[in-house]
Structure 1
Amino acid sequence: MVKQKTIKSEISLTGVGLHTGKEVKMTFKPAPANNGFTFVRVDLEGQPVIEADANYVVNTQRGTNLEKLGVQIQTPEHVLAALTGCDLDNVIIELNASELPIMDGSSKYFVEAIEKAGIEEQEAKRNVYVVKEVISYTDEATGSEILVMPSDSYCITTMVDFGTKILGTQNATMKCLSEFKDEISDSRTFSFLHELESLLDNGLIKGGDLNNAIVYVDKEISSSTMENLKKAFGKDEITVKPNGILDNLTLHYPNEAARHKLLDVVGDLSLIGTRIQGKVIANKPGHYVNTQFAKKLAKIIKIEQRNFVPTYDLHQEPLMDIHKIMETLPHRPPFLLIDRIIEMSENHVVGMKNVTMNENFFVGHFPEAPVMPGVLIVEAMAQTGGVLVLSTVPDPENYLTYFMKMDNVKFKHKVLPGDTLIFKCELITPIRRGICHMQANAYANGKLVAEAELMAQIAKK
């Protein structure tokens, strides 16, 4: 079981936003398990929180931009790439402006800050979506395509073709996430001269200079353009190097542009909110196609998780039969609502109940159209979880279990006589002081029939 990770201590960086030119202070802070990556605008009243979620993408012009309830986060992709590339799951990113600092146009300084802060494991299990079939998205307007296929690890290949002599066709590959730091993180953002002219004319890239973006010269530079560039970048002199880029920068790699596109893919796909085990192939990737693919994949994952029904061999000898269950639980008929425990580990337990017409509750609920009461399904899930928590003490017969809280309870389908109920309970947080906090699901007839977040405590008789 791979566990979730966060940083050990908080750390801050300062820089300017590429497009706004505003100075910004950014602070990475440790986050609790299952928090994910969240941005906090400390400069705004109430310090609103914006989750790194593909559904909040509102604009992908010159970067990925998020917005939630009118609050914006601009160009987070390089930071998100660094967090994912450092194998993190949960981090809070505090900002005193809307746009994240561009630094040198790569993820290098963010990775260095993360390593300085340190990384630590958390108790919660990491949720990983294992790709089982090819999933793709194509932008018909540009011909850009991104797909993911089954693989033993998370790996990415990007293929770019800008149709210019100065840059041409490039490819880049990351075979596994551990290569991100040394092979990808220092690849800087880039622009073509014709794009730069348009951005300058529209008052953008106010925080740009010749140290945070590679500028490929794909056309003749007029004297007026040269003067504008000098003014914009605060330089007395600007020249074009023999390899076709503006001066003051040396390429880290011949295919740095393709590597930076791969960096962007890592950052944009972190907006899915779930780790992926699969091979990503991106042909002419960009923020629009990346985030549209992230939205599509996030939706598929959500549907599969909601509809996923685990299967168990009910003909095998159970881990605990009714007699062993009664040795553990204090409940007795007619209020003992589980018949078997099928499997159990430190973090989960699976129980079973055969629902028959002879159940006491069918006498009054409802005699003419018998339906198992939803509250009893929740109680059965709690009893299943009770077996898990009582397994942590040497003398379970001397303990009683008590409900403390239930949240997000949902009943989705009726449970009728003749149905076989399967209960699966997984810990949300480790068991401490006899308190069990778990996600519980009940299945019957190949469907999820009920779910709830439950908390219970054991106490000595």
Structure 2
Amino acid sequence: MSNLQRTIKNEVVLSGVGLHTGKEVKLTFKPAPENTGINFVRTDLEGHPTIEALACYVTDTQRGTNLEKNGVVINTSEHVLAAIIGEEIDNIIIELSAPEPPIMDGSSKFFVEALEKAGTVEQSAEREVFEVKEIISFKDEETGSEIMIMPSDKYEITTMVDFGTKILGTQNATLKNITDFKTEIANARTFSFLHEIETLLDNNLIKGGDLNNAIVYVDKPLSDETMKKLSKAFKKDSVTIKPNGILDNLTLHWPNEAARHKLLDVIGDLALVGMRLKGKVIANKPGHKINTNFAKKLNKIIKIEKRNNVPQFDLNQPPLMDIHAIMKILPHRPPFLLIDRIIELSDTHVVGMKNVTMNESFFVGHFPGAPVMPGVLQVEAMAQCGGILVLSTVPDPDNYLTYFMKMNNVKFKQKVLPGDTLIFKADLISPIRRGICHMQAYGYGNNKLVVEAELMAQIVKKQEE
């Protein structure tokens, strides 16, 4: 598998009923541009609001992994997300005509089949992968559940479950490679114990269930009253118990199907990290709560690593471009030329440098008693690096000017003082098209992140002004 992002080729539709809401729902998988990620869209609501599949939007894990953003809810997202990860799809739109995806048979099988029917296509942008370098763990002291991830050359998962009942007991399941998801995990159906089903029915919380979309393990005597209640709920003349202790009308795909379904849930919940994982996950007694809390912890670690990933360069080596070469490309001139050197330049990234001296013109009026480089000029310096990147794509850069289009998520982390050496690194978020450069930029000084921003700029021919 290449390291390029993937989306689906064609739209594909599934219909069914939500397990907990009991509502009829149409689910449409749609292709999405590079760097979109996995997005849910509620087509039944005004404005078709979008909820990104990210751990920060998890609000409830009682009966599935539920997301909420600005009051808009997606219930029971995990089976769909697991199928998308299992098919190694990075960018996709999931349109829903109700809050909850269809439960189908309680597994990811039908979602996998739909995605394979839609087909996949590689995109231009590289896939973002979090490569685990050391063991990261999370434990729920209350339940004893624990999940960890350790270094590995691929994404693999092991689940160990202990349900504390004679009927089910202890089970393990392992997925050695995500490419085996379809054959080893996708068909594993959701399950519940009889006492849980009774509680859900009594509280009117399982409106879309029947004996075809959940394995029910009988962990208590089945009274006549319970039999009648189940028969009515599942629209059956009668229900009986199989010799292996599950209600009738279902045959287990594997003896450890429950552990395999828990593994499926882990994959779906960890999709909320928002990028691919390269590491071995070991989950002991996993559940949606600990899975999603672990995803949130991984998000924080990834964010810190990104910010602290200070590029190291030998500044004594001759630069790729000195100030004279820069002035041949950029239209800026002192005192507003804020880049001294270009250290690296490729089709997708640029690294530049600036020496901040006491002689800078802006120190004359910006806190002259305690000089600090203005934040807006730090952003401008990063943008000038981006200008080098986009202007390098045309044969006559001196005939173009660069203009800001927008900036998002600008953050200033440290003061920049006279004597500091700033290193700016900008990476394309998407390929340059029609002279538009969309990039994520970082500025570092004294081995610390000092500024970051998402920037978009466009080059325009001078005569087109």
TM-score range, shorter chain: over 0.9
Higher mean Cα deviation, 3-12 or 319-328? 319-328
Deviation at 1:214, TM superposition (A): 1.2
Once residues 409 and 453 of structure 1 are traced to their aligned partners in structure 2, the CA distance between those partners, rounded to angstroms, is 7
Q: Deviations over 1:336-388 (max 9, x none)?
A: 32222111211000011112223343344454333333333233222212221
Deviation at 1:398, TM superposition (A): 4.2
Once residues 251 and 329 of structure 1 are traced to their aligned partners in structure 2, the CA distance between those partners, rounded to angstroms, is 67
Pair 1:292 & 2:296 matched: no
Once residues 211 and 239 of structure 2 are traced to their aligned partners in structure 1, the CA distance between those partners, rounded to angstroms, is 9
Match of 2:121 in 1: 120
Opposite residue 165 of structure 1, the aligned amino acid is K
Once residues 344 and 159 of structure 1 are traced to their aligned partners in structure 2, the CA distance between those partners, rounded to angstroms, is 48
Tell whether the 8 Å contact from 2:34 to 2:91 is kept in structure 1 after alignment: yes
Once residues 120 and 404 of structure 2 are traced to their aligned partners in structure 1, the CA distance between those partners, rounded to angstroms, is 35
Match of 1:438 in 2: 439
Once residues 225 and 454 of structure 2 are traced to their aligned partners in structure 1, the CA distance between those partners, rounded to angstroms, is 65
Once residues 233 and 409 of structure 2 are traced to their aligned partners in structure 1, the CA distance between those partners, rounded to angstroms, is 54
Match of 1:232 in 2: 233
Pair 1:65 & 2:39 matched: no
Higher mean Cα deviation, 252-261 or 353-362? 353-362
Gapped regions of structure 1 (runs ≥ 5): none
Deviation at 1:84, TM superposition (A): 1.4
Once residues 361 and 309 of structure 2 are traced to their aligned partners in structure 1, the CA distance between those partners, rounded to angstroms, is 31
Aligned residue-pair number: 461
Pair 1:189 & 2:174 matched: no
Once residues 444 and 94 of structure 1 are traced to their aligned partners in structure 2, the CA distance between those partners, rounded to angstroms, is 44
Higher mean Cα deviation, 109-118 or 53-62? 53-62
Once residues 384 and 250 of structure 1 are traced to their aligned partners in structure 2, the CA distance between those partners, rounded to angstroms, is 62
Provide closer, same or farther for how the CA distance between residues 61 and 336 of structure 1 changes in structure 2, counting only shifts above 3 A. closer
Provide closer, same or farther for how the CA distance between residues 242 and 3 of structure 1 changes in structure 2, counting only shifts above 3 A. same
Match of 1:84 in 2: 85
Pair 1:11 & 2:12 matched: yes
Match of 2:26 in 1: 25
Provide closer, same or farther for how the CA distance between residues 366 and 61 of structure 1 changes in structure 2, counting only shifts above 3 A. closer
Provide closer, same or farther for how the CA distance between residues 63 and 376 of structure 1 changes in structure 2, counting only shifts above 3 A. closer
Matches within 5 A, 1:226-265: 226-265=227-266
Match of 1:134 in 2: 135
Once residues 247 and 373 of structure 1 are traced to their aligned partners in structure 2, the CA distance between those partners, rounded to angstroms, is 71
Match of 2:111 in 1: 110
Deviation at 1:442, TM superposition (A): 1.4
Q: For 1:238, what is the secondary structure of its paired residue?
A: coil
Opposite residue 161 of structure 1, the aligned amino acid is D
Opposite residue 296 of structure 1, the aligned amino acid is K
Higher mean Cα deviation, 278-287 or 369-378? 369-378
Q: For 1:35, what is the secondary structure of its paired residue?
A: coil
Tell whether the 8 Å contact from 2:428 to 2:440 is kept in structure 1 after alignment: yes
Q: For 1:129, what is the secondary structure of its paired residue?
A: strand
Identity within the alignment, % = 75
TM-score by length of 2: 0.92
TM-score by length of 1: 0.93
Once residues 126 and 109 of structure 1 are traced to their aligned partners in structure 2, the CA distance between those partners, rounded to angstroms, is 26
Match of 1:427 in 2: 428
Q: For 1:224, what is the secondary structure of its paired residue?
A: helix
Match of 2:52 in 1: 51
Q: For 1:45, what is the secondary structure of its paired residue?
A: coil
Once residues 73 and 333 of structure 1 are traced to their aligned partners in structure 2, the CA distance between those partners, rounded to angstroms, is 53
Match of 1:455 in 2: 456
Opposite residue 139 of structure 2, the aligned amino acid is T
Match of 1:167 in 2: 168
Match of 1:372 in 2: 373
Deviation at 1:191, TM superposition (A): 1.4
Provide closer, same or farther for how the CA distance between residues 410 and 93 of structure 1 changes in structure 2, counting only shifts above 3 A. same
Tell whether the 8 Å contact from 2:172 to 2:256 is kept in structure 1 after alignment: yes
Once residues 429 and 304 of structure 2 are traced to their aligned partners in structure 1, the CA distance between those partners, rounded to angstroms, is 21
Q: Deviations over 1:28-52 (max 9, x none)?
A: 2222333322222222233332222
Provide closer, same or farther for how the CA distance between residues 235 and 293 of structure 1 changes in structure 2, counting only shifts above 3 A. same
Once residues 340 and 224 of structure 1 are traced to their aligned partners in structure 2, the CA distance between those partners, rounded to angstroms, is 80
Q: For 1:362, what is the secondary structure of its paired residue?
A: helix
Deviation at 1:397, TM superposition (A): 4.0
Once residues 201 and 366 of structure 2 are traced to their aligned partners in structure 1, the CA distance between those partners, rounded to angstroms, is 72
Q: For 1:142, what is the secondary structure of its paired residue?
A: coil
Q: For 1:312, what is the secondary structure of its paired residue?
A: coil
Tell me which stretches of 4 or more aligned residues in structure 1 moved more than 6 Å.
Answer: none
Q: For 2:318, what is the secondary structure of its paired residue?
A: coil
Q: Deviations over 1:224-251 (max 9, x none)?
A: 2222222222222333222222222221
Opposite residue 163 of structure 1, the aligned amino acid is G
Q: Deviations over 1:8-29 (max 9, x none)?
A: 2222111111122221111122
Opposite residue 109 of structure 1, the aligned amino acid is F
Opposite residue 133 of structure 2, the aligned amino acid is K
Q: Deviations over 1:241-300 (max 9, x none)?
A: 222222222211121111100000011111222322221110011112112222222223
Q: For 1:66, what is the secondary structure of its paired residue?
A: strand
Higher mean Cα deviation, 36-45 or 76-85? 36-45
Tell whether the 8 Å contact from 2:35 to 2:430 is kept in structure 1 after alignment: no
Provide closer, same or farther for how the CA distance between residues 417 and 196 of structure 1 changes in structure 2, counting only shifts above 3 A. same
Opposite residue 342 of structure 1, the aligned amino acid is I
Tell whether the 8 Å contact from 2:228 to 2:238 is kept in structure 1 after alignment: no
Match of 1:306 in 2: 307
Higher mean Cα deviation, 334-343 or 16-25? 334-343
Once residues 70 and 405 of structure 1 are traced to their aligned partners in structure 2, the CA distance between those partners, rounded to angstroms, is 28
Higher mean Cα deviation, 351-360 or 423-432? 351-360
Gapped regions of structure 2 (runs ≥ 5): none
Deviation at 1:460, TM superposition (A): 4.1
Deviation at 1:75, TM superposition (A): 0.9
Provide closer, same or farther for how the CA distance between residues 316 and 189 of structure 1 changes in structure 2, counting only shifts above 3 A. same
Higher mean Cα deviation, 78-87 or 35-44? 35-44
